[in-house]
Structure 1
């Protein structure tokens, strides 16, 4: 039996592959990444790339030692003589903040907007839209506490999916307040749930003493039923004056800009370095768990990683989840372009000439050529199969005269173009 790819991973395939679907189209991934790049770079974001593996301690501090990601889902990296101190990155934020601190990026103008994309890794149960190697687009802003930064970050996430063609998307918006607000809320939860500890799941029993807010995020149906039965008050009821004003300002900006959002008091971030704004982006077409991604403010993360206090906010969405939403809405992504020109020799003696002309023309556009002589009909059929815009054949007459009859495959119109002017012709058609 031939070897198979690991469970929970995908091959991203070229156009025309027999088993092609939207979620494995290399062109679909490229389209999402290019759209994200265009939107975020227009807003002043700069690209950053970090390693696929990091120190395990970075992930423990940056994601949280009590999270399922750290406790159950990390891929540990071993090599000869190593004790297993590295893990494949499960998300992008901690790595970007680490790179910011380590490389002195605080010296750059603030707020500093950064973005990246690439694979992430979690050892979780494989299901629709949930893979062990998945891909994210990630955006982070470091150096400002202004609520205008929060609102712009949410707008950018919404704008990316809007430019991709999605319409059935809404923002679910919440706030987790300041550290003092969270302390008050955690005390309230502990006092309320202490009398019902025997009904909590094992994970939630553990969280009750250390981080009660994370109980609200429990995956246990029993925990959620208990929360509903007790009428647990939301974190929004416990916001202090400053956090409430910040939250109101964010809502005001989003309303002014026409970003659709719903207040969702159930959105929580249980780790100590999170502050104030938290949100998720939802689409009903991706299944029971409708979140495409989310984000939040993490003003305490840089200090948690051993650096100075640096305010930050960011978001990420899963590309695989996004492609499911595009498919559910029936959004047709643009077909990838083929070469601007396809060249073919009519006889073996001119194959090398066709190759030389193609290589020289590539400074202007994508140009492909046939590696063996073809008859005219076969040459134009091959050009069409490759989705070329133009095609030309080279025989003894073209070789002697240095002029090509370049044919538009869309209209059938032909134009005589000298070999010396071919590059200029291709630049004009771009």
Structure 2
């Protein structure tokens, strides 16, 4: 039996492959990435690419030592049999902020908008829409605390998925306030949960002293039942005046721009560097765990990574989960097209000439050629199988006259085109 890919990974396959689903179509991933590039770069974002692995400390500080990601889900990188203190990146934000600090990007005009896409890695149980190697689109803005920046970030997330054809998603919007607001809320949570320590999961008992807000994110059914039974008040009840005004301004912008959202008091971010705005993008088509992605303001992250405080906000969505939502809505993404022209020689003596003509024509468009001589009927069938729009054959007579017989496969119409004019002809056909 041939060797298999690792569990929790996928091969992204070319068009025409057997068992080709939307979630493994290479063209579908490319379309999502190209759409994100178009939307985000029109808004002034620049592309950034960071390493697939970083020092583990980047994520211990940047994601949080108490999170499941750091405690349970990071892949450790070894080299020459030695543990080097590196991990495969589980998310994009911490690495981008590390790059911002290390490379002096603060000198660029603020707010600085950055975006990226690529694989992330988490050692967790595989389930629908979540692989151990998965892919994200990530957008970050550094250098401004204005609520307009938050609102634009949310609008851009919505605009990317809308441009892809998704209509059934919705933003769940919350706020986690300022550090003083969070301190008050954490004190309240300790007071509420401490009398019920015996009913909390092991993870939540551990979080109660260090990070009680993370109890609200617990995956334990018992913890969630206790939260409902105690009628735990939401973070929104503890917002100070400035954070409340900021939250109201974000909502006003989104309402004016027509972005669909619901205020969701249950949205929390448990780490100290998060501030104010937090949101998630949901779609029921991906199942019970309906989040496609999310974002928030993280003004304290740069300081956690050893730099100065830099106000920042950002988001990410998982491409695999987004493709599930698009599939649930029946959105047909464009498929990768075939060549504009497929070229074949009718005899072995002209195979080299056909190759040369094809290589020169590639200056203007995608052209493929046959590596052996083919009869016209076989050449046209092969061109159709490859998804070509045009097919051409060249034999001794055509070579002597310097022409090609070009057939439009959709109509069957054939035209004679001079070799010297082929590039100009193909440019017109491509338009």
TM-score w.r.t. length of structure 1: 0.99
Q: Which residue of 2 aligns with 1:348?
A: 348
Q: Is the 8 A contact 2:77 2:83 kept in 1?
A: no
Q: Which residue of 2 aligns with 1:227?
A: 227
Q: Which residue of 2 aligns with 1:178?
A: 178
Question: Offset at 1:381?
Answer: 0.8
Work out whether 1:112 is the aligned partner of 2:112. Answer: yes
Q: Which residue of 2 aligns with 1:396?
A: 396
**Residue deviations 1:337-393, cap 9 Å, x none?**
111111111111100000000001111011100000111111111111111111111
Distance 2:357 2:285 in 1: 49
Distance 1:277 1:148 in 2: 11
Q: Which residue of 2 aligns with 1:312?
A: 312
Q: Is the 8 A contact 2:176 2:268 kept in 1?
A: yes
Question: For 1:234-383, what aligned pairs fall within 5 Å after superposition?
Answer: 234-383=234-383
Unaligned residue ranges in structure 2 (runs of 5+)? none
**Residue deviations 1:117-144, cap 9 Å, x none?**
1100000001111110001111111111
Distance 2:310 2:82 in 1: 33
Unaligned residue ranges in structure 1 (runs of 5+)? none
Q: Which residue of 2 aligns with 1:22?
A: 22
Question: Offset at 1:253?
Answer: 0.5
Q: Helix, strand or coil for the counterpart of 1:277? A: strand
Question: Offset at 1:401?
Answer: 1.1
Question: Offset at 1:83?
Answer: 3.3
Q: Helix, strand or coil for the counterpart of 1:119? A: strand
Distance 1:410 1:266 in 2: 55
Q: Is the 8 A contact 2:348 2:373 kept in 1?
A: yes
Question: Offset at 1:291?
Answer: 0.3
Question: Offset at 1:416?
Answer: 2.6
Work out whether 1:163 is the aligned partner of 2:163. Answer: yes
Distance 2:425 2:310 in 1: 52
**Residue deviations 1:245-292, cap 9 Å, x none?**
110010001000100000101000000000000000000000110000
Q: Helix, strand or coil for the counterpart of 2:59? A: helix
Question: Offset at 1:331?
Answer: 1.0
Distance 1:177 1:428 in 2: 58
Question: Offset at 1:81?
Answer: 6.1
Question: Offset at 1:330?
Answer: 1.1
TM-score w.r.t. length of structure 2: 0.98
Q: Is the 8 A contact 2:303 2:309 kept in 1?
A: yes
**Residue deviations 1:149-208, cap 9 Å, x none?**
101110111111111111110000000000000001000111111111111111000111
Q: Which residue of 1 aligns with 2:147?
A: 147
Question: Offset at 1:26?
Answer: 0.8
Q: Which residue of 1 aligns with 2:408?
A: 408
Q: Helix, strand or coil for the counterpart of 1:342? A: strand
Question: Offset at 1:327?
Answer: 1.1
Once the two structures are overlaid, the 10-residue window that deviates more, 374-383 or 407-416, is 407-416
Question: Offset at 1:419?
Answer: 1.1
Matched pairs, number: 430
Distance 2:408 2:33 in 1: 30
Q: Which residue of 2 aligns with 1:192?
A: 192
Q: Helix, strand or coil for the counterpart of 1:335? A: coil
Q: Is the 8 A contact 2:54 2:95 kept in 1?
A: yes
Question: Using a 3 Å threshold, how does the CA distance of structure 1 residues 315 and 347 change in structure 2: closer, same or farther?
Answer: same
Q: Which residue of 2 aligns with 1:13?
A: 13
Question: Offset at 1:316?
Answer: 0.5
Q: Is the 8 A contact 2:9 2:134 kept in 1?
A: yes
**Residue deviations 1:40-74, cap 9 Å, x none?**
11111111101000000001001100000000001
Q: Is the 8 A contact 2:174 2:279 kept in 1?
A: yes
Q: Helix, strand or coil for the counterpart of 1:78? A: strand
Distance 1:333 1:162 in 2: 13
Distance 1:226 1:234 in 2: 14
Distance 2:189 2:196 in 1: 11
Question: Offset at 1:335?
Answer: 1.9
**Residue deviations 1:77-116, cap 9 Å, x none?**
0112633400000000000001111111111111111111
Question: For 1:44-193, what aligned pairs fall within 5 Å after superposition?
Answer: 44-80=44-80, 82-193=82-193
